[in-house]
Amino acid sequence: MTAMKEGVCVVHFWYNHEHCCWASNETTFQERHHCPQWQSWAELITGTSEGAFAYIVNFLMYIFWALLFSFLAVALVRAFAPYACGSGIPEIKTILSGFIIRGYLGKWTLMIKIITLVLAVSSGLSLGKEGPLVHVACCCANILCHLFTKYRKNEAKRREVLSAAAAVGVSVAFGAPIGGVLFSLEEVSYYFPLKTLWRSFFAALVAAFTLRSINPFGNSQLVLFYVEFHAPWHLVELAPFILLGIFGGLWGALFIKANIAWCRRRKTTRLGHYPVMEVLVVTALTALIAYPNIYTRMSGAELISELFNDCSRLDSSQLCGYQQVSLCVGNTLPDRPAGPGLYTALWQLALALVFKMMITVITFGMKVPSGLFIPSMAVGAITGRLLGVGMEQLAYYNHDSIIFKGWCSQGADCITPGLYAMVGAAACLGGVTRMTVSLVVIMFELTGGLEYIVPLMAATMTSKWVADAFGREGIYEAHIRLNGYPFLEPKEEFEHSSLAVDVMRPRRSDPALAVLTQEGMTVGEVEALVESTHYSGFPVVVSQQSQRLVGFVLRRDLLISIGTFVFICVVSSSQVVFTEHTPSQAPDAPPPLRLRGIMDLSPFTVTDHTPMDITVDIFRKLGLRQCLVTHNGRLLGIITKKDILKHMAQITNRDPDSILFN
Domain boundary among 456, 483, 510: 483
Question: Within 13 Å of residue 522, how many CA atoms lie on the same side as its CB?
Answer: 11
Residues 336 and 437 in one domain: yes
Query: Do 380 and 426 form a contact (C-beta atoms < 8 A)?
Result: yes
User: How far apart are alpha carbons 316 and 30 in whole angstroms?
Assistant: 8
What is Dmax (Cα atoms) for the chain? 109
117, part of any domain: no
pLDDT score recorded for residue 219: 67
Q: 249: part of which helix (H) or strand (E)? A: helix 238-268
- The answer to whether residues 377 and 428 touch, using CB atoms and an 8 Å cutoff, is yes
- The structure's pTM equals 0.87
Any domain includes 173 = no
Give the residues across from 538 on adjacent strands: 553
Contacts of 134 (CB under 8 A, 6+ apart): 87, 88, 89, 92, 165, 166, 169, 170, 173, 188
Range of the domain at 619: 500-658
For residue 486, give the nearest of 641, 614, 612, 620 by alpha carbon.
Answer: 641
- Say if residue 368 is in the same domain as residue 407: yes
Q: How many CA atoms lie within 13 A of 588 on its CB side?
A: 0
Q: Residue 232: which of 486, 419, 99 has the closest Cα?
A: 419
CA–CA separation, 168 vs 179, rounded Å?
10
Neighbours of 166 (CB within 10 A): 31
- Rounded to whole angstroms, how far apart are CA atoms 93 and 69? 29
The answer to whether 425 and 305 are in contact (CB under 8 A) is: no
How many Cβ atoms are within 10 Å of 107's Cβ, its own excluded? 14
Among 426, 457, 483, the domain-final residue is 483
- Within a domain: residue 141? no
Dist. CA 544–CA 565, nearest whole Å = 26
Distance, in Å, from the CA atom of 626 to the CA atom of 638, rounded to the nearest integer, reads: 7
Total domains present in the chain:
3
Any idea of the CA torsion for 9, 13, 17, 22, to the nearest 10 degrees? -80
Residue 389 lies in a domain: yes
Please indicate, yes or no, whether residues 423 and 280 belong to a single structural domain of this protein: yes
In a shared domain, residues 356 and 408? yes
Handedness of CA 465, 467, 471, 476 (dihedral sign): negative
Same domain, 522 and 469: no
**3-class secondary structure, 499:** strand
Domain co-membership, 553 together with 590: yes
Q: Could you report how far apart the first and last alpha carbons of the chain are, in Å?
A: 36
CATH assignment of the domain containing 617: 3.10.580.20
Residues in the chain: 662
Report pLDDT for 314: 63
Helices (H), 309-372: 340-363
| Residue 421 resides in a domain | yes
| Among the listed residues 64, 75, 136, the one whose alpha carbon sits nearest the alpha carbon of residue 367 | 75
**Strand spans (E) along 383-529:** 516-517, 521-522
Would you list the DSSP string of 549-618? EEEEEEHHHHHHHHHHHHTTT--TTSEEE-SSSPPP--TTSPPPEE-GGGSBSS--EEETT-BHHHHHHH
What CA–CA distance (Å, rounded) separates 185 from 437?
Answer: 10
The 3-class SS string of 152-188 reads: HCCHHHHHHHHHHHHHHHHHHHHCCHHHHHHHHHHHH
Parallel, antiparallel, or unpaired for β 7-9 and 634-640? Answer: unpaired
Distance CA 221, CA 214 (A): 10
Do 378 and 239 fall into the same domain?
A: yes
Say if 471 falls within a structural domain: yes
Residues 370 and 404 in one domain: yes
* Residue 163 domain flag: no
Do 230 and 310 form a contact (C-beta atoms < 8 A)? yes
**φ, ψ at 606 (rounded to 5°):** -130, 160
Domain boundary among 49, 80, 111: 80
Q: What is the CATH number of the domain that holds 245?
A: 1.10.3080.10
Distance CA 426, CA 457 (A): 9
Q: Give residues with Cβ within 8 angstroms of 136, minimum separation 6.
A: 88, 110, 113, 114, 117, 169
SS3 40: strand
At 403, give phi and psi (nearest 5°).
-70, -45
Ordered mean pLDDT values, 10 residues apiece, the chain (662 residues)? 89 82 68 77 85 91 95 94 92 87 91 95 92 94 92 86 94 89 88 88 92 78 70 85 96 95 88 90 94 91 87 72 61 69 90 95 93 94 94 81 74 81 94 92 80 90 95 90 83 80 85 87 87 88 90 89 70 82 75 85 91 88 87 91 85 69 52
Determine, yes or no, domain membership for 2: yes
Cβ(554)–Cβ(598) below 8 Å: yes
Residues 410 and 317 in one domain: yes
Q: Alpha-carbon torsion 607, 609, 615, 616, what sign? A: positive
Residues 535 and 454 in one domain: no
Residues 445, 581, single domain; the answer is no
Instruction: Indicate the Cα dihedral angle 401, 406, 407, 411, nearest 10°.
Output: 70
At 532, the amino acid letter reads S
Q: Judge contact between 427 and 461, C-beta under 8 A.
A: no
For residue 532, the tally of other CB atoms under 10 A from its CB is 8
**Secondary structure class of 630 (helix, strand, coil):** strand
On whether both 562 and 520 belong to a single domain, the answer is yes
**What gap in Å lies between CA 532 and CA 552, rounded to an integer?**
18
